[in-house]
Structure 1
Amino acid sequence: MLLIISFLYALFTLTLWITWLKMPTLRSRALLTKGPRITVVIPVRNEAQNIANLLDDLSRQTYSQFEVIVADDSSTDATLSIVEQYAQQSTYELCALPLTDERTASPKKRAITQSIALATGELIVTTDGDCRVGPGWLASLAAFYTQTGAKLISGPVTFTTEQTIFDSLQTVEFSSLIGTGACTMALGFPTMCNGANLCYVKEVFKEVGGFSGVDHLASGDDEFLMHKVATRYPDGVRFLKSREAIVQTQAHRNWLTFYNQRKRWASKWRAYESLLPSALAVFIFLSNAVPVMAGLGWLLGFLNGNTALVVIGLKLVPEFLFLRQVLVFLQKKSSVGVIPLTQLMYPLYVLFFGLAAQKKDTYGKDGNLTDA
């Protein structure tokens, strides 16, 4: 059984690797300066240290047809005043939207929904207050939408410069999520995306009912919406493979915030209406349990050493090939050397969060928009 699961996982990972290699890359010469109007929605709470950097990045966009709405969820710092002052001299249309202080299970979904009600753009693009974007970010999204007619576009996300080994480990782990989400979209069965770099047609958001049906969940403003759009438009969900489109966000600086976010992420599988994401979550859980069981079986004398090595090798080698390719694309080649260490820790990580996510009160009530 261990060998069968290992072989299936190796086949799955090699399929992702080949799919990634074959996925076309949007070239710089295809970028647009004008096209469909875009509304950039930025839900924030207490981002006074970061929001000005993102607003500066937006002022350097090569694309001109856009507006920005910063939805502030009752920040207790200077976030709102920074945005309001910036709007007075901004070179683009910038609106500060103060949200009422009311209890809700998902402040981020509320912020996005209220922003879309005011949006004048054909396309909605979401990101977070602590993110950084390049000058070709919106131009690449507009070009890809024009070329493909996609209803929802998922863009690449990675972390800013790594300062510690913990940062590098997060970069490798996060690249696996971004790469897997991209490849499953290319294969026609989308599984995951990230709200830090997400684009969708405003009318399609309304057509699928927005976040209705999942607005009671603290997390999932990105993936649950993606699945609703994919159900309505099976060929309408795409991944934009373009370095111009990469969004950088900050890695977690302490274990507690990392734990709370990953616990929420791991718990979302129970709320999926489609069986595929849930089946994939279970498959990944089992695939990471197998090498642990193989190692223990060999140490306890229940499993032949050669068999244990084959089981572990079937996981490590295809994983390395896939992760290396994604990291290089994300311009994180310096983190390639951390892949083996991540692979050593990852099975324990998956088992831990897979079990922790089954506890009640999974989603929490912290109301932090940028953690979702």
Structure 2
Amino acid sequence: MELTLLESCLLGALVFCFAVSLYFSLFIHLKLALIKVEELPAQAAKPLSVIICARNEAENLTQYLPAVLQQKYPDFEVIVVNDRSWDKTSDILEGFAAQYSHLKIVTVAEGEKFIAGKKFAVTMGIKAASHEWLVFTDADCQPASENWLMGMQPSENYKNAIVLGYSPYMRKRGLLNSLIRFETFFTAVNYLSFAVKGMPYMGVGRNMAYKKSLFFKNKGFAAHMHIPSGDDDLFVNAHANKDNTEIRINPETHIWSVPNTSFGAYLRQKKRHFGAGKFYKAKHKFILSVQIIFQFLFYALFIALLFFKPALYVACGIFALSLIIRSFIYPRLLKRLNYPDLRWWFPVLDILLFIFLVFNGILSIFVKKVKWK
């Protein structure tokens, strides 16, 4: 089979993109698939402060807060920051406070001099915390078990200052829900895998923990207070390293979260996340950019080669090999990270997710304004 110079160049570029993608799959993500799931500690090590920020979350607090308050942990407090709510959030919290003595309510009132945003609310919750070890989640989140806090406490050597947990979204009907859960899965695979490799770059505020002293030593969110998002990932990006960060993937340490039910709301959420990513450390931005750029080029080159009959057979073979390798790694991770039902839809969702990420990236260039509720 003779190939033209153009076909040879396109195939060479396709092979190179395949090799780059293969590196991330085999040498980064596969580590998470093979790592041994940690056992839960036999006993509690130190007291904990759980921090939840709530803005008009009366319904979610009613449904999910009891699971946090009823954790099987000997010494912990739950701090809920009522951030300028105008629904029945205050009444709901007062009712819970009458039942649970370890619930502490912090109220943020509206005011002309008020610095709006979740970071201010998180800071108020941290200031109110009585304990050194802080565990974070959201009002619309539910622990997978009553042993969630037991798993999110610091390890025995106490060297870690940050613990990165995992927060899958609840299963609902429809393609949008599958896409949301699949995107969350890949985000988690990436940040958890890089943390295992010794290069932590982000975490999610629905399930993470760090030391109070780490927060104040680094002046909290002062470096990025002007950015609406990033109370979780930007803080981790700035202060996590290979020596002070651990992950938790034991199923009992997962936090289930309520997903968006409309495409518009999901786009707004991802726009906030995309905006925060622009402020990551240069090396992290480079690595993440390489991932998505070469994945984009792989698909683009494959499509282009379909129009060159002598070369399309080789291109299809490379694409099939890529799919086989990815199908060996990621369905296994889907099962490990509580999304076993998505394994059978992996090839389709993989392509749909990539299309969405490209679309969201382009949209974020033109739409700048974002806010927290």
TM-score, L = length of structure 2: 0.90
Deviation >6 Å, runs of 4+: none
Is 1:193 the equivalent of 2:203?
yes
Distance 1:356 1:127, change over 3 A: same
SS in structure 2 at match of 1:356: helix
Of the three residues 322, 331, 342, the one matched with 2:338 is 331
For 1:52-111, what per-residue CA distance to the aligned partner results, in whole angstroms no more than 9, with x for missing partners? 222210233111211011111111211121011110011x41112111224777611111
Aligned residue in 2 for 1:16: 28
Q: Map residues 156-305 of structure 1 onto 2, 5 A cutoff.
A: 156-230=166-240, 234-272=242-280, 274-301=281-308, 304-305=311-312
User: What CA distance in whole angstroms lies between the structure 1 residues aligned with 2:64 and 2:367?
Assistant: 36
User: What CA distance in whole angstroms lies between the structure 2 residues aligned with 1:60 and 1:193?
Assistant: 25
**Is contact 1:68-1:94 (8 Å) kept?**
yes
Is 1:364 the equivalent of 2:370?
yes
RMSD between superposed Cα atoms in Å: 2.1
Distance 1:48 1:86, change over 3 A: same
Is 1:139 the equivalent of 2:154?
no
Residues 198-207 or 304-313, more deviating: 304-313
Is 1:45 the equivalent of 2:55?
yes
Matched letter for residue 228 of structure 2: A
User: What CA distance in whole angstroms lies between the structure 2 residues aligned with 1:307 and 1:269?
Assistant: 36
Instruction: Report the count of equivalent residues.
Output: 359
CA drift of 1:44 comes to 0.9
**Is contact 1:6-1:290 (8 Å) kept?**
no
Matched letter for residue 48 of structure 1: A
User: What CA distance in whole angstroms lies between the structure 2 residues aligned with 1:320 and 1:43?
Assistant: 38
Distance 1:106 1:23, change over 3 A: farther
Distance 1:127 1:304, change over 3 A: same
Residues 205-214 or 287-296, more deviating: 287-296
**Is contact 1:172-1:338 (8 Å) kept?**
no
User: What CA distance in whole angstroms lies between the structure 1 residues aligned with 2:202 and 2:370?
Assistant: 21
Aligned residue in 1 for 2:102: 93
User: What CA distance in whole angstroms lies between the structure 2 residues aligned with 1:47 and 1:68?
Assistant: 16
User: What CA distance in whole angstroms lies between the structure 2 residues aligned with 1:327 and 1:296?
Assistant: 27
SS in structure 1 at match of 2:172: coil
User: What CA distance in whole angstroms lies between the structure 2 residues aligned with 1:308 and 1:222?
Assistant: 41
For 1:279-338, what per-residue CA distance to the aligned partner results, in whole angstroms no more than 9, with x for missing partners? 123112212312431243134338821343245345433433333222212232122122
Calculate percent identity across the aligned residue pairs: 21
TM-score, L = length of structure 1: 0.90
Stretches of structure 1 lacking an aligned partner (at least 5 in a row):
none
User: What CA distance in whole angstroms lies between the structure 2 residues aligned with 1:287 and 1:7?
Assistant: 10
CA drift of 1:177 comes to 0.8
SS in structure 2 at match of 1:162: coil
